[in-house]
Amino acid sequence: MTGVVLRRPVGSTAVSVGVIVGVLAVPATAHADPSTTGRWVVSWAASPTMAGTFPDLACPSGSGLHDQTVRDVLSTSVGGTRVRVRLANTFGGQPLRIGRATVALVEAGAATVPGSTRMLTFGGEQSVTIPPGAETSSDPVPLRVPALRQLAVSVYLPDQTGPATQHLFAQQHNYLSDGDAALASSAVPYTTAISCWLFVDGVDVSASRPVTGAVVALGDSITDGAGSTVDANRRWPDDLARRLDAQRGPTLAVANAGITGNEVVLDRQPVVFGPSALHRLDRDVLAQTGARTVILLEGINDIGGDHIDANQLIAADTEIISRVHARGMRILGATLTPFIGSHEQYGGDYGTPWGEQQRQAVNQWIRTAGAFDSVVDFDRATADPTEPDRLYPPYDSGDPPTLAGTMAGIPMPNSI
């Protein structure tokens, strides 16, 4: 996977979560606003990409599904009393017919809690056809969902789907069955585990506690969680969701818009790395229900994989800031984490002297230009104290990979 950078620092950025929570502090006036309870807000998201896979990943997106049910397992950030699910045919080449779809609470693995299954409808109908390049949201269904709770969204595809819209690096086991098993609470029909999310790219809830909006984390593999522990929800946005949920009073939902291998400026090849942040900003970030704040942590792949220099990255970041502000939202700039030592594994300009020069220039601009509403210094929080251009070894989730997902237990700095 040439250029899928920063599996080395993946997960390490959770060390900065305490800083982010402070920056995202909800105004005290929100305590007195009852309208923040019951509002619709995104509770989970995964940015869609085109079909495609790697030999070591179990994902059938390339061939698609036919007369099968996919059970996608996902974790909420905030809880609610009603749920609606967004299904995507964003990168499909033909109409996608949904024969049946359900949502339920997960018991364990592919099994769901008996009695929790809710049939999803679309304009009152059980079945819906989604045109190529489109997505659709279900009608709301009553389901009491706690914060940080796993849900199973089961989608039956009666016809040949063709190449499937997916999120490849789910870091989560999802499941396939033959035929229509959308209503089954038992795991028995789900005989195949897969590594990707298929067709589902968002879940909204009617919040059961005061929620002032959602923070959307826009990034690459560091945000996507590549290399973190599978089935453990140990991506840094998951840690952020846990920290926010633990606070008293109004909170924020968290949506993950990270794609492994993604770039800010260019649409990456292979296609599973997704459209650039510039090209997917409207769909993956600004359109999220209740989106209020964006955290931008991206650019290492531009430098390392495609020789994008600091001036080009700064210009792209400036455009993103302008578009976010035009929607009345805030945006936090996150400095790029250390990557000296990556060249041997990834080639290109990952960790070369030129690449390091570009990273330092971008970080200096993020810290000093005042273009962002606030800054989260991931670089300083994760750097080796003795060699600050390298990642601090205990935070390295790629070498060795067994360290992935251990960052939540590391003390977090109170300030930067």
Write the pLDDT tens digit of every residue in 165-179: 999 999 999 999 999
Q: For residues 104 and 150, is the Cβ–Cβ distance under 8 A?
A: no
Average pLDDT, integer, range 293-299: 98
| Higher per-residue pLDDT: 391 or 84 | 84
Question: Whole-angstrom Cα distance, residue 4 to residue 27?
Answer: 38
Q: What is the pLDDT of residue 17?
A: 67
Q: What is the pLDDT of residue 6?
A: 31
Mean pLDDT score across all residues of the chain: 89
Structure tokens, 316: 């792209």
pLDDT at 363 over 50: yes
- In the chain, where are the structural domains located? 12-37+209-409, 58-202
pLDDT at 203 over 90: yes
Confidence band of 21 (pLDDT split at 50, 70, 90)? low
Q: What is the pLDDT of residue 405?
A: 32
The phi, psi pair for 182, rounded to 5°, reads: -60, -30
Q: What is the pLDDT of residue 31?
A: 44
- Look at the alpha carbons of 279, 284, 290, 292 in this order and tell me if their dihedral is positive or negative: negative
pLDDT at 34 over 70: no
Average pLDDT, integer, range 226-243: 94
Question: Whole-angstrom Cα distance, residue 23 to residue 256?
Answer: 18
Q: To the nearest whole percent, how much of the chain has pLDDT over 90?
A: 80
Give 266's contacts (C-beta < 8 A, 6+ positions apart). Answer: 276, 302, 306, 308
**Which amino acid makes up residue 297?**
L
Question: Whole-angstrom Cα distance, residue 161 to residue 96?
Answer: 6
Q: Which fold has domain 12-37+209-409?
A: Rossmann fold (3.40.50)
pTM: 0.91
- Minimum mean pLDDT among 47-61, 116-130, 251-265: which range? 47-61
- Minimum mean pLDDT among 7-11, 67-71, 192-196: which range? 7-11
| Higher per-residue pLDDT: 1 or 72 | 72
Q: For residues 130 and 6, is the Cβ–Cβ distance under 8 A?
A: no
The three-state secondary structure class of 248 is coil
Neighbours of 1 (CB within 10 A): 16
Residue 381 β-bridge partners? none
Average pLDDT, integer, range 44-53: 95
Average pLDDT, integer, range 14-33: 55
Q: What is the pLDDT of residues 303-342, one digit of tens each?
A: 999 999 999 999 999 999 999 999 999 999 999 999 998 8
- Minimum mean pLDDT among 52-66, 112-126, 273-287, 351-365: which range? 52-66
Q: What is the pLDDT of residues 143-164, one digit of tens each?
A: 999 999 999 999 999 999 999 9
pLDDT at 398 over 90: no
Confidence band of 408 (pLDDT split at 50, 70, 90)? very low
∠51-337-171 over CA atoms, to 5°? 35
Q: How far apart are the first and last CA of the chain?
A: 34
pLDDT at 15 over 70: no
Question: Whole-angstrom Cα distance, residue 116 to residue 63?
Answer: 32
The phi, psi pair for 82, rounded to 5°, reads: -135, 155
Q: What is the pLDDT of residue 19?
A: 61
Confidence band of 71 (pLDDT split at 50, 70, 90)? very high
